[in-house]
């Protein structure tokens, strides 16, 4: 391999770990928001349902890049305005990792909310009734019965969302986080070999999505067979 290209591989590897951690942290945020969103959509209180509907509508109608720039620049301004009010003279820079993961988590939380809601509605009501009849408390019903069943129903859509989310983490490079994309840009600029480095970055993304897909497919078929055994 060309020694110049090889000298940038450690940097690209570091960028890949950042991309993966952005994706995993965003997934955690999205799962929490998604569960909350699903519960809100299923709520019997009208205004809570309306807030949840507004959340999904906004996320589906506005590009994630715009939301990210809004949160990054707007959040910074708001933070500094608060700081200026309480302790004058201090300023703070919002971390692109925080702004980025919050945005991606917020966006995919809306999609996961729809996924979880569908998964919850797919659970036969007899399962919940049986659990209650056994004397389980509501938290126990969720942990032992509805939670695991929901996960099983949600897994196909969850896998799909993970893949889309993983790819959309690339936009974090726009607000300056040194992820895989940003490192590829640095190398491309320094070596004047943009095609090589962007193609390399593409290959890394492709490898991550391929491995994710294989793992998730294996997981899905595993859970499917055990589901069959339960029904038999």
Partner 1 sequence: MNPDLLLDNAGLFGRAILVTLGLLAASLLAGGALALPLAVLRNSRRPWISGTIWCFTYIIRGTPLLVQLFVVYYGLAQFEGVRASLLWPALKSAWVCAVLAMAINTCAYTTEMIAGAIRALPTGEIEAAHAIGMSAWQRLHRVILPLALRRSIPAYSNEAVMMLHGTSLASVVTLVDITGAARDVNSRYYLPFESFLTAAVLYLSITFVLLAGFRRAEKRWLAPLKARA
Nearest distance from C-beta of residue 77 to partner 1, angstroms: 5
Nearest distance from C-beta of residue 146 to partner 1, angstroms: 28
**Site membership for partner 1, residue 202 (CB under 8 A):** yes
Residues binding partner 1: number (CB under 8 A): 41
Torsion of CA 43, 59, 110, 26, to 10 degrees: -140
**Site membership for partner 1, residue 188 (CB under 8 A):** yes
Considering only 33-41, 140-148, 161-169, 214-222, which stretch makes contact with partner 1 by CB under 8 A?
Answer: 161-169
**Site membership for partner 1, residue 5 (CB under 8 A):** no
**Site membership for partner 1, residue 201 (CB under 8 A):** yes
Residues of this chain, 77-106, that bind partner 1 according to CB under 8 A = 77
Quick check: helix, strand or coil at residue 124?
coil
Residues 6+ apart with CB under 8 A from 100: 22, 26, 68, 72, 169, 172, 175, 177
**Site membership for partner 1, residue 168 (CB under 8 A):** yes
**Residue number with CB closer to partner 1 (50 or 137):** 50
Binding characters for partner 1, 57-76, by CB under 8 A (x = yes): xx-xxxxxxxx-xx--xx-x
**Residue number with CB closer to partner 1 (141 or 178):** 178
DSSP state, residue 171? G
**Site membership for partner 1, residue 217 (CB under 8 A):** no
Categorise residue 141: left if φ over 0, alpha if ψ from -120 to 50, beta otherwise: alpha
**Site membership for partner 1, residue 35 (CB under 8 A):** no
- Give Cα separations from 4 to 8, 15, 79, 159, 162 (angstroms): 7, 18, 42, 37, 34
Q: Which listed residue (53, 84, 127, 194) binds partner 1 by CB under 8 A?
A: 194
Residue with tokens 């994309």: 181
User: Structure tokens of 57?
Assistant: 């509508």
- Candidates 82, 67, 76; CA nearest to 95 is 76
**Site membership for partner 1, residue 32 (CB under 8 A):** no
Do 35 and 52 touch, CB atoms closer than 8 A? no
Residues 6+ apart with CB under 8 A from 231: none
**Site membership for partner 1, residue 205 (CB under 8 A):** yes
Given the rule CB under 8 A, which residues bind partner 1?
57-58, 60-67, 69-70, 73-74, 76-77, 163, 167-171, 173-174, 181, 184-185, 188, 192-196, 198-199, 201-202, 205-206, 209-210
């Amino acid at each position: 391999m060309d020694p110049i290209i090889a000298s940038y591989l450690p940097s690209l590897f570091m960028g890949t770990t950042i991309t993966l951690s952005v994706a995993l942290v965003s997934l955690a945020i999205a799962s929490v928001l998604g569960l909350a969103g699903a519960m809100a959509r299923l709520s019997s209180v009208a205004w809570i349902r309306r807030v949840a509907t507004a959340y999904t509508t906004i996320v589906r109608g506005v590009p994630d890049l715009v939301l990210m720039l809004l949160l990054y620049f707007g959040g910074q301004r708001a933070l500094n305005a608060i700081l200026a009010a309480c302790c004058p003279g201090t300023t703070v820079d919002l971390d692109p990792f925080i702004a980025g993961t919050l945005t991606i988590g917020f966006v995919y939380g809306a999609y996961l909310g729809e996924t979880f809601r569908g998964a919850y509605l797919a659970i036969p009501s007899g399962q919940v009734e049986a659990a209650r009849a056994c004397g389980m408390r509501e938290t126990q019903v969720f942990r032992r019965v509805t939670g695991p069943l929901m996960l099983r129903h949600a897994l196909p859509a969850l896998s799909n969302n993970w893949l889309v989310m993983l790819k959309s983490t690339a936009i974090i490079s726009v607000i300056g986080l040194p992820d895989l994309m940003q490192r590829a840009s640095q190398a491309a600029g320094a070596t004047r070999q943009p095609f090589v480095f962007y193609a390399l970055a593409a290959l890394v993304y492709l490898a991550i999505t391929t491995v994710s897909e294989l793992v998730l497919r294996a997981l899905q078929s595993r859970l499917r067979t055990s589901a069959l055994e339960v029904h038999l």
